[in-house]
Amino acid sequence: MESFEKYKKDIKNKGFATRAIRWQLPRTEHQEHSVPLYLTSSFVFEDAEEARSLFADEKQGSIYSRFSNPSVDEFIQKMCLLEEADDGVAFASGMAAVFGSLIPFLSAGDHVLACRAIFGSTHQILNRILPRWQISHTYLDARARPEEWEAARRPQTRLIIVETPSNPGLDVLDLEWLGRFAREHGILLLVDNCFATPYLQQPVRSGAHLVLHSATKFIDGQGRAVGGIVVGDRDLIKEVRFFARHSGPSLSPFHAWLFSKSLETLALRMERHSTSALELARFLETQPAVERVIYPFLDSHPDFALAKKQMKMGGGVLSFILRGGLESGKRFLGAQEMLSHTANLGDTRTIVTHPASTTHSRLTEEERLAVGILPGLIRVSVGLEDLPDLIEDLTRCIAAAG
């Protein structure tokens, strides 16, 4: 056990990929190389005294898999190593992680500041669920200036929630400024780091109190399992853990085991997702039918300088606007042969979506425009296939879009 403690300390100083590959639970007596999967609902107590001390939190250990499980712990601890966070809690989905990161900190009368460009279901929580408990919010544009944030702040503002880069407008928010603003006013900063992953940016370094992920996306990276996680400040995570333990949105050990193994290739995958996305973005900029390409690492992006400062690479998602608008977007999606049309992102397979006619079709045109969704906007989650094959299919789709 002493050597495991030393190993835990040493691995913190290793490189990103080494941490993601080499962090694992202590080996069992079988000396397995890859970690085993702890598919069990509960754990046996040695005696009455051990049971008592586990329940009293005097001793660390697993009791029941709704509270904790070794496979889930391994995933959490690895994510903490990668995000440079103290502690974390894993959830059955990204949305459970969002809800579980909000509820422990909000009471009736509290106020939330949110970037308007956040995930659709996060909007629903803020718009439809929290108001029933007298928790209000104010939305700010992704491009809001510091004075606008300052003006929107109230004495009751308890928490800020943002995503950067945002979906699907790919706006980049200044994490360092937000971190300072939040800490200056004693407000919690919660960052959804799903698009960037810890390989591209670590919001904790900029002052974020809590960082959450839909593990369904780049963390799994292969479109297999739904899950989520939040990591951050030790005392805050304690509150999240209490909520999760007693309300039950726990991650399945099997999914945790998949995610932990997936993290071993995160660095490699994000490098390839990002280099392919940048090349595709540059290719799309040369296409006459394309009005504009949005990708944080294109020098035409309004936040290019900030993106370069804040992120290691541009990430795996790009958006572009077809000149022909809504109908053009629909025709584009009818022509693909290899590209997948599906409601996910962060997969090995390239996925194209047309938000105006699908995920965001129930919003009004004004509401769509407010979050940067133009009628001809196509979002591409760039996969790991060979680039010439992606270009071939995209070219066909653009020609069909007319």
Binding site for ligand PLP (CB under 6 A): 93-95, 119, 163, 167, 192, 194, 214, 216-217, 226, 228
Helix (H) or strand (E) holding 55: helix 48-55
Nearest to 231 by CA among 261, 253, 209: 209
DSSP H/E element including 322: strand 317-322
Contact 227, 91 (CB under 8 A): yes
User: Minimum CB separation from ligand PLP for residue 178, in Å?
Assistant: 16
- Residue ranges of alpha helices (H) inside 248-342 are 253-263, 266-285, 304-310, 325-334
Closest distance to ligand PLP from the beta carbon of 121 (Å): 6
d(CA 152, CA 137): 10
Q: How far is the CB of 117 from ligand PLP (least distance, A)?
A: 10
Q: For residues 165 and 172, is the Cβ–Cβ distance under 8 A?
A: yes
Least Å from the CB of residue 95 to ligand PLP: 4
Tell me how far, at minimum, the Cβ of 310 lies from ligand PLP, in Å.
17
Closest listed residue to residue 347, CA positions, set 230, 234, 246, 216: 216
Tell me which H or E stretch contains 299: none
Beta carbon nearer to ligand PLP, 157 or 353: 353
Nearer to ligand PLP (CB atom), residue 209 or residue 217: 217
382 contacts 350 by C-beta, under 8 angstroms: yes
Question: For ligand PLP, which is the closer residue by CB, 35 or 88?
Answer: 88
Given the complex with ligand PLP, which of 68 and 93 has the nearer CB atom?
Answer: 93
Q: Using only C-alpha atoms, what is the Rg of the chain? A: 22
Q: Give least dist CB 391 to ligand PLP, A.
A: 25
Q: How far is the CB of 21 from ligand PLP (least distance, A)?
A: 24
Cβ distance to ligand PLP smaller for residue 54 or 189: 189
Whether residue 376 contacts residue 323, with contact meaning beta carbons closer than 8 Å, is answered with yes
Q: Can you read off the two tokens belonging to residue 9?
A: 């300390």
Task: Give the residue with the Cβ less far from ligand PLP, 104 or 228.
Answer: 228
**What residue is closest to ligand PLP based on CB?**
94
Q: Helix 94-102 crosses helix 234-247 at what angle (to 10 degrees)?
A: 110
Which of 91, 105 has the CB closer to ligand PLP? Answer: 91
